[in-house]
A and B are shown apart, each in its own frame.
Chain A
């Protein structure tokens, strides 16, 4: 296909709208379309053949284990990794990781990374001329609890420009890496903040053509998590795909 060297937001928005119009109920679009070319980097990096249906073999019905030796509880606070206080709005993010059958994903690794309050990553390839915050790295790890819960403290990330097209801006988001109880549930995704005006313009968010599925990436503001005179709170639950293994008694949710 031919793609303009540098499209405008209007061009990309038209492409987004055209694909949304094709959206049909038979293919629900609950996962991102790999061939979503409004996201230009996808053009040469998406498989063109259908994914091959497979039954999970033994190794695929298990997941790697992580434990207390892997994750320091302090890694769940992204605001205390340096000598000073990071700039920005302190937030708590919490939720549960469950599998598609509603079972909590216990004692499993959650990894998060994000831009700082100004929308700048510490990554050397981030060229956005917003300031680096010497007191904020933006990477954390959490081990889920027995109820599948995770909680971390951070700074609300800012939106940031990228070079997908002219004047392209990503909605504010936090990247999440998740493991389930089996290999097939491995997932990397992004959590967004409610009411972001950039949602409609963002080809990565819009690559999920089902509106209900897109909504599941948006956290909920929860005033009960907000700490007086200190921080605001967001809740975001994550549902992995179904599992294929008969879990042991001690893995059952209410055993």
Chain B
């Protein structure tokens, strides 16, 4: 990994997505990176919960992931999906039960032996800036993952669990099961 010098220009601050994003950000097919039920499709889903364990009905979850062969996709077409092009990116607003659900493909390892994961962004009313995290695909590769090794007892909050259609990944903004959220150098 090569790292560029620390940025010189002062960054623009973030702000909450607010309560009124639903007519602007969600769009038809946003959560279907591949058509639901198509060959190889899996479901990645879960609930977003607040510190009282109450589902968050006005959150927005985005995923960004490698293709099954581990390649990073650089294909346009996420906003008008043609049903054939896998773009690696999707968006899903939570429903009244705080639930989100993607139809997608399992990400592969981007390097030999690397633990595959979905990069996840969370926005919500009440959340003053976006949160970033990872939803790891369960498997043997997790044991050698440097991030998981560094988070201690909260590591399970970063690992999706298998369920009949694919993977379950709940996001706890606060509380005893608070998800590990990430910050990266440069911000």
Contacts and interface: CB of A to CB of B under 8 A. Distances in A.
**Do the two chains bind?**
yes
B23 A139 contact: yes
Interface string A41-85: 111111111011111111111111111111100000000000000
B138 to A, nearest CB: 17
A100 B8 contact: yes
Interface of A is mostly: loop
A63 B173 contact: no
B103 to A, nearest CB: 17
Interface string B109-149: 01100100101010111111111100000000000001100
Nearest to A125: B19
Contacts of A213: 10, 13
Given A39-B126, A42-B126, A216-B13, A186 B62 contact: yes
B22 A71 contact: no
Contacts of B18: 175, 190
A233 interface: no
B119 A59 contact: yes
A169 interface: no
A140 B52 CA distance: 35
B15 A204 contact: yes
B15 A190 contact: yes
Contacts of B121: 183, 186
Contacts of B169: none
Contacts of B87: 64-65
A123 B17 contact: no
Interface of B: 1-25, 50-52, 54, 56, 62, 64-66, 72-80, 87-89, 107, 110-111, 114, 117, 119, 121, 123-132, 146-147, 150-151, 154, 173-174, 178-187
